[in-house]
Structure 1
Amino acid sequence: MRILIVHNILWAHYKSSVFQALQRLVDNQPDVTVKVLQIARSERSRTGMESVTDSTAPTYAYDYELLFDRYIENVSLFDRTRVLLQRVRAFRPDVINLTGYYDPAQVMILLWAKANGVRVIMQNESTVADQQRGSRKEQFKKWLFDRCDGFFCFGNQSANYLISIGADPAKILLRRNAVDNDTIQSVYEQALPTRTERQQALTLKPNNFVFVGRLIEFKNLPLLLDAFAKAIKTSSNGKNWGLLILGDGTERTKLVNQVNELGLAGSVSLLPGRPWYEVPEILALSNILVLPSRSEPWGLVVNEAMACGLPVLVSDRCGCVPDLVHDGQNGFVFDPNQPDQLVRRMAQFMDGTVDTHQMSQAAKQLIATYSPNAVAQDMLRGFIKVTS
């Protein structure tokens, strides 16, 4: 069996950890070959989030080819289509995993595959809560998905969305997503012993909520700042808590202004974005992760925080919630349209009425089943199933 995976950007380190795990599984399988076509190195919105020349960056070993060493926005549709078709024909796959039904070039690969008897597994990240959808767009996606032999989904919300537009549940071959748990946990544990010293050097509070991600509109950070401001007034222990916002983006200036207007300059720290493998160093300065997004296909930062044993506060619009956030066990779920819910939960953590140690243990135990190896095993079983 010859497996070909078409992926958008090499930057997606979490996928590289899965591809490496898949490569190791395939290496132990007779007559099975896997190759990954990475269309581009990165995308513009990720600028500055990874230093490709940093010798400390983790590397992943799997058979891949980088088709265009530039931002994906700078690769024309003609070039993508031409080179992808060329490489696909040369590889002669039995099954293709496509990761972008929204990309006309990959739609062309799907049509080529169906005309040539090649099986196709489509990746889906979308959920019902993502955005408003027009009927024509949904009809096109249904037509497209009807031509797929299987689906790799980012969790149950993603799978349920496909089923809602007519996909056969038996074709859902994967329902989870993973990050490099081992690397993230290792960096976190190395940073933890110097937590107090680094907090003092950065003039941080001894306890902190943390947000990690791009500072863009749908991440809903104004809600987080408002909720934090109310929570520290509600809690008698609020003066010992801070909020770390790690990331870059178009909303930074607005957020700085809001911090000043709310009188939070001594409690909120906006830290510049950094490569993913350095993020656990900031998680080591923190106690609780908050992800308040109004829309999020999954929310990989929740995986990362749980790998470090952090309890999580996650908006119910995030795709990972049904799979990763067990309300009251490893964190809490809140409605982003009901800001008082977030205020109440943050105040509970501040007041110490939540057993954070038990939540930490539950987070580590749950996220262990969302490892790159577990996802890779599901993928390989899916490839075998559709080609049998």
Structure 2
Amino acid sequence: MAPRVVVFNNMITPYTNRLYNELASRGLDLAVLSCTPQEADRSWAGSFTPRYITRTVPGVSIPLSRSRHTHVNIGVGRALHALAPDLLFVNGLYPSMLAGAAWARANGKALALTIDGWRETMPNTAYHRLARPWLLRQCDAVVCCSDKGRAYFRGEGVRADDLFVVPLVPAWDPPAVVPAFDDRPFHLLWCARLNDDAKNAIFFENVAIALGRIVPGLKVRVVGSGAAERRMLARFGGAGIDVSHDRYLPWQAISDVFLQSRLLLLPSLLEPWGLVCNEALQCGVPCLVSPHVGAGGELVRDHDNGYVCALDEQVWVDAARGLLEHPAHWEAMSRQARQSVRRDALADAAARFAAAVDHLLRAPARQEAVQ
């Protein structure tokens, strides 16, 4: 009988569902236990079909900010007992995840932490300074999405052999054909929450307004909502910038936005990875990102398929202008963008996850009861 693998996460997303479905299709006996069907600022529940067992444990989601929640659930042990995992992946340091880790430890099950992020984005509250070392001591492996994440956990004392990188993969395949420069009506694209504390929306506004004084007929595409929404649209209107805005688009339709755009700008101050970069690049859209974006320097390579720029507005204006005013340069970088996204990205991610599972199955069983 194949071993049962359970992933305990906050919620299933379209892109994690794609990976889980691939794993299930390869014969992995997979079940996913979630803290909530959908957090308050998401809109994708019911938009995809899992081909594996799913359960949601009762509880509450407590917003810490517009983009972060913590979860407190009851009956975690009962739910895990019913799913009967041979090995358990927990997806964070929520109180519910710690309860799941304690259950795995008490029942002698192999345990792993799977988490996005890196040194700049790992919370460092008093709670996390206590919970993280405890959880890492219980884990037989850590799965992260980037080399930056691997370096962080190596610094936290996790053995190199117990670290695995499973890259994030978009929920949809790369298009077979992408439009040329002149067939993309929008110069700049924003596709993220509209806030200043993490996404740095005001920086994007300033860069776009500066470019509007230089590039004739600048057109901006904005997808997202948030605290900065009204201000951004008002400022663009005052500057005479042509802007097309959608507060939300279904994930199945988002590729059209990338295919209509020439440049993606992501000047985040806090970004564990930035899956929007994967989506943009596979549509041939060069990305301008800040050094605070996890994908910067790994997926988005400076002067190759985009730019990793310090948060200096003039630097961003010059980089964007150099592409928008020189279509041949843009076309070359657009080709590099598409080539930088592996055609077998989903298969590669599934194989890497399977390698972590194999490693966990070889881990010695933990029989010590946790008080």
Determine whether 1:92 maps to 2:92.
no
Alpha-carbon distance in 1 for matches of 2:58, 2:17:
17
1:128: which partner in 2? 119
SS at match of 1:111: helix
Amino acid at match of 1:118: K
Alpha-carbon distance in 2 for matches of 1:313, 1:260:
23
Amino acid at match of 1:15: T
Change (3 A) 1:370 1:315: farther
Determine whether 1:2 maps to 2:4.
yes
| 1:292 Cα deviation from its structure 2 partner | 1.1
Does the 8 Å CA contact 1:43/1:73 hold for their aligned counterparts?
A: no
Equivalent residues in 2 for 1:146-295, closer than 5 Å: 146-182=137-173, 185=175, 206-217=185-196, 218-233=198-213, 235=214, 238-261=215-238, 263-264=239-240, 266-295=241-270
SS at match of 1:122: strand
Does the 8 Å CA contact 1:129/1:317 hold for their aligned counterparts?
A: yes
**1:129-169 Cα distance to aligned partner (Å, 9 max, x none):** 22673466334312221211111102111222222222222
1:202: which partner in 2? none
Unaligned runs of 5+ in 1: 200-205
Amino acid at match of 1:16: N
SS at match of 1:120: strand
2:16: which partner in 1? 15
Alpha-carbon distance in 2 for matches of 1:45, 1:180:
18
Q: CA RMSD in A?
A: 2.8
Change (3 A) 1:23 1:15: same
Alpha-carbon distance in 1 for matches of 2:59, 2:104:
27
Change (3 A) 1:370 1:300: farther
Unaligned runs of 5+ in 2: 64-68, 363-371
Does the 8 Å CA contact 2:6/2:89 hold for their aligned counterparts?
A: yes
1:203: which partner in 2? none
**1:336-384 Cα distance to aligned partner (Å, 9 max, x none):** 2x22221111111122176222222222222116722221111111111
1:41: which partner in 2? 37
Change (3 A) 1:76 1:248: closer
Does the 8 Å CA contact 1:42/1:71 hold for their aligned counterparts?
A: no
Equivalent residues in 2 for 1:292-311, closer than 5 Å: 292-311=267-286
Alpha-carbon distance in 1 for matches of 2:122, 2:7:
27
1:358: which partner in 2? 332
Change (3 A) 1:384 1:271: same
Equivalent residues in 2 for 1:324-335, closer than 5 Å: 324-335=299-310
Change (3 A) 1:370 1:43: farther
Amino acid at match of 2:219: G
Higher relative contact order (CA 8 A, sep 6+): 1
- 4+ residue stretches of structure 1 with deviation over 4 A? 68-78
Change (3 A) 1:39 1:174: same
Does the 8 Å CA contact 2:57/2:79 hold for their aligned counterparts?
A: no
**1:194-229 Cα distance to aligned partner (Å, 9 max, x none):** x96xx8xxxxxx341101011122211111111122
Equivalent residues in 2 for 1:362-377, closer than 5 Å: 362-368=336-342, 371-377=345-351
Change (3 A) 1:251 1:14: same
Determine whether 1:81 maps to 2:71.
no
2:369: which partner in 1? none
Alpha-carbon distance in 1 for matches of 2:278, 2:235:
29
1:344: which partner in 2? 318
Does the 8 Å CA contact 1:228/1:346 hold for their aligned counterparts?
A: no
| 1:36 Cα deviation from its structure 2 partner | 1.5
Change (3 A) 1:278 1:321: same
Alpha-carbon distance in 2 for matches of 1:367, 1:165:
30
Alpha-carbon distance in 1 for matches of 2:149, 2:302:
20
| 1:322 Cα deviation from its structure 2 partner | 2.7
Matched length: 353
SS at match of 1:386: helix
Amino acid at match of 2:331: H
| 1:3 Cα deviation from its structure 2 partner | 0.9
Alpha-carbon distance in 2 for matches of 1:110, 1:132:
19
Does the 8 Å CA contact 1:41/1:71 hold for their aligned counterparts?
A: no
**1:219-245 Cα distance to aligned partner (Å, 9 max, x none):** 111111111222343x4xx01432211
| 1:71 Cα deviation from its structure 2 partner | 7.9
Alpha-carbon distance in 2 for matches of 1:125, 1:161:
11
Does the 8 Å CA contact 2:59/2:74 hold for their aligned counterparts?
A: no
